[in-house]
Amino acid sequence: MPREIRINAFDMNCVGHIQQGLWTHPRDQSTRYTDISYWTDYARRLEAGLFDGIFFADVIGVYDVLGGSPDAAVKNAVQVPVNDPMMLIPAMASVTQHLGFGVTANLTYEQPFQFARRMSTLDHLTRGRIGWNIVTGYLDSAARAAGFTQQMAHDDRYDMADEFMSLVTALWEGSWDDDAVIRDKARGIYADAAKVRVIHHAGKQYKVDAMHLSEPSPQRTPVLYQAGASERGTRFAATHAECVFMNGQKQPAVKQAVQELRQAAAQQGRAASDIKVFLGATIVTGATEQEAQDKFEDYKRYANSEAALVHAAASLGIDFYKYDIDEPIETKSNAIQSNVAAMTRAAGPQWTRRKLLDQLVMGSRQPPWVGSGEAIARKMIEWCDAADVDGFNLSRTVVPECFDDFIAHVVPQLQERGAFKTSYQSGTLRGKLFGRDRRASTSA
């Protein structure tokens, strides 16, 4: 019996997300991102297809590394303009019962006390369907937006993140006892003040002396997502994360990363199964192999390599335009360490812009899986078995048809093989993923 594969849609409150240029496809609707009915329809569609959740990326800043200018990003809508993803969730939650929501929030630029209340509010309104993707940022442009001249050094960002986590965890888990809220109209007692306490925190970065303003929500702590894959990022994930996103095309490398992550979690006193690993994937599928290939050929015509280069330059922290097209690129940066490491692993020190451009198959460094529903389903099951992966984050290509195609062609094949649910369990997001509503206690 294969494991139950988890499927999230991976999106962002913007036009161009991962597969750059596809917004220009005549059927693509991502330019409707400011329209609330676009998102409520989207949510209904995913829930009808039994998706586990939708996961929202976010970035505070613009991709101005390539050529030292944001112009190409603006022209091609490479994750700019980008609206706040959190604001989509109440609307999408109001038309669904089961769909989970993961939202990226950069803790570097959040006030922990307000942030904790915002997430508690979402956990209430979604009835426990909220998750938080913890990021610390990697863009100097974001730091400049917040009044700094540049971002903090990579490992310092994680130290700050550890303190932030410890503080918000105290607010979520420690301020109100489970039985603090009585809600007794007859006696006129809403809550028992003896069971509500002030959280005192005086750390290096934050100082708080207050009770949490929200009463306990279904999950209290949102399901914690994390994508850091550097050594320091893995340690952070092993301590805090319940779901981890990975990218990678080579199974042995992904397998090893998953293994190391689960081992690191075990060293923190957690079970290896306390972490669900989601692999990033881009899928082009159809009723037949031919239909999928035809679709792929069609989509590719709208892909935009310049836009993909803008994104890659920012993720890697490297301005490729400073190098001739065949000149080896130095892989040192203060951006996403795991991206840089992956690039070096894949190409060695002789990495060049030309090699990178060759890889940008459909507007991104993530090559799509193209095939019939059956072929995709088999590949997914094979990956989960071989690399110990729990599920997939599906990047959008042409929306919403990419999700319609997945639901029509891949989901039934997965179900037939016992690898995908045929109806939702009731309960919270954490309940569905781990069989418990509350976060397992960690050393944090």
Q: Is residue 168 a contact residue for a second copy (CB under 8 A)?
A: no
Stretch that binds a second copy, among 121-129, 249-257, 378-386, 396-404 (CB under 8 A): 121-129
Q: Are strands 181-184 and 189-191 parallel, antiparallel or unpaired?
A: antiparallel
Stretch that binds a second copy, among 57-65, 232-240, 329-337, 421-429 (CB under 8 A): 57-65
- Give the Å distances, CA to CA, from 398 to 109, 292, 308, 359: 32, 13, 16, 20
Does 24 appear as a known binding residue?
A: no
Q: Is residue 145 a contact residue for a second copy (CB under 8 A)?
A: yes
Q: Which is nearer to a second copy, 97 or 350 (CB)?
A: 97
Using CB under 8 A, pick the residue from 7, 93, 134, 429 that binds a second copy.
Answer: 93
What is the three-class DSSP state of 369? strand
Stretch that binds a second copy, among 83-91, 220-228, 349-357, 408-416 (CB under 8 A): 83-91
| Other Cβ atoms closer than 10 A to 169 | 20
Q: Is residue 122 a contact residue for a second copy (CB under 8 A)?
A: yes
Does 69 appear as a known binding residue?
A: no
**Cα–Cα dist 263/204, whole Å:** 30
Q: Is residue 321 a contact residue for a second copy (CB under 8 A)?
A: no
Q: How far is the CB of 207 from a second copy (least distance, A)?
A: 4
Taking every pair of Cα atoms in the chain, the longest distance, rounded to a whole number of angstroms, is 78
Q: Which is nearer to a second copy, 43 or 410 (CB)?
A: 43
Q: Do residues 110 and 163 make contact, with C-beta atoms less than 8 angstroms apart?
A: no
Q: Which is nearer to a second copy, 136 or 338 (CB)?
A: 136
- 321, two tokens: 């335009």
- Give the Å distances, CA to CA, from 86 to 12, 30, 62, 421, 441: 10, 17, 19, 27, 26
Q: Is residue 378 a contact residue for a second copy (CB under 8 A)?
A: no
Using CB under 8 A, pick the residue from 186, 349, 423, 435 that binds a second copy.
Answer: 186
Q: Is residue 88 a contact residue for a second copy (CB under 8 A)?
A: yes
Count residues contacting a second copy (CB under 8 A)? 81
Q: Is residue 136 a contact residue for a second copy (CB under 8 A)?
A: no
- Residue 120: partners with Cβ closer than 8 Å, 6 or more residues away: 172, 212, 213, 214, 217, 220
Q: Is residue 12 a contact residue for a second copy (CB under 8 A)?
A: no
Give the torsion sign (CA, 298, 302, 305, 307): negative
Using CB under 8 A, pick the residue from 9, 18, 54, 72 that binds a second copy.
Answer: 72
| Count of alpha carbons within 13 angstroms of residue 47, beta-carbon side | 19
Using CB under 8 A, pick the residue from 192, 260, 294, 319 that binds a second copy.
Answer: 192
- Residue 191: partners with Cβ closer than 8 Å, 6 or more residues away: 176, 180, 181, 182, 183, 215
Using CB under 8 A, pick the residue from 31, 150, 256, 273 that binds a second copy.
Answer: 31
Which residues 196-225 are close enough to bind a second copy by CB under 8 A? 196, 206-211, 213-215, 217
- Give the Å distances, CA to CA, from 58 to 132, 195, 197, 212, 358: 11, 37, 33, 26, 27
Which of 321, 186, 338 lies closest to 256 in space, CA to CA? 338
Q: Is residue 441 a contact residue for a second copy (CB under 8 A)?
A: no
Residue list for the binding site: 58, 104, 154, 158, 230
Residue list for the binding site for FMN: 58, 104, 154, 158, 230
